[in-house]
């Protein structure tokens, strides 16, 4: 079945850029998402990209998609301490309705 992999931890300094990476196995994945989860909270949708796109930019967030390598990344520019959270990559294959397959999550720690 579909598998989504992320590294577990990332630590950066405030003001630096953060890059969170994700790989997936199903080449038929149609929508790919990034969610943020803060302690004790639900998932906040940050951004998503359709599989026919290579890049999407939204303010401080840049998503890059390499379909050949099945690799998705999220770059956060000018990272702030408020960005400290767990970030999840998720994929949806159009023929499976609303089913999302999630990675394990990357815990981002931003040091002042």
Partner 1 sequence: KAGVTQTPRYLIKTRGQQVTLSCSPISGHRSVSWYQQTPGQGLQFLFEYFSETQRNKGNFPGRFSGRQFSNSRSEMNVSTLELGDSALYLCASSLALRGLNTEAFFGQGTRLTVV
Binding-site ranges for partner 1 (CB under 8 A): 31, 33, 35, 41-45, 48, 88, 90, 92, 94, 96-105
For the bound state, the minimum distance from the C-beta of residue 61 to partner 1, rounded and expressed in Å, comes to 15
Taking the C-alpha atoms of residue 85 and residue 58, their distance in angstroms, rounded to an integer, is 19
For the bound state, the minimum distance from the C-beta of residue 15 to partner 1, rounded and expressed in Å, comes to 30
Nearer of residues 14 and 107 to partner 1, judged by Cβ: 107
Closest CA to 1 of 66, 94, 64, 93: 93
How many residues are listed for the chain in this entry?
112
Taking the C-alpha atoms of residue 4 and residue 26, their distance in angstroms, rounded to an integer, is 9
Nearer of residues 76 and 105 to partner 1, judged by Cβ: 105
Taking the C-alpha atoms of residue 43 and residue 32, their distance in angstroms, rounded to an integer, is 15
Nearer of residues 17 and 109 to partner 1, judged by Cβ: 109
């Amino acid at each position: 079945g579909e598998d989504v992999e992320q590294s577990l931890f990332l630590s950066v300094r405030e003001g630096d850029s953060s890059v969170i990476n994700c790989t997936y196995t199903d080449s038929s994945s149609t929508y790919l998402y990034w969610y943020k989860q803060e302690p004790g909270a639900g998932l906040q949708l940050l951004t998503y990209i359709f599989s026919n796109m290579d890049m999407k930019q939204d303010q401080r967030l840049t998503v890059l998609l390499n379909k050949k390598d099945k690799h998705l990344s999220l770059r956060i520019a000018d990272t702030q301490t408020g960005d400290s959270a767990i970030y999840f990559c998720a994929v949806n294959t159009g023929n499976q309705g609303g089913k999302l397959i999630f990675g394990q999550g990357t815990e981002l720690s931003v040091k002042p």
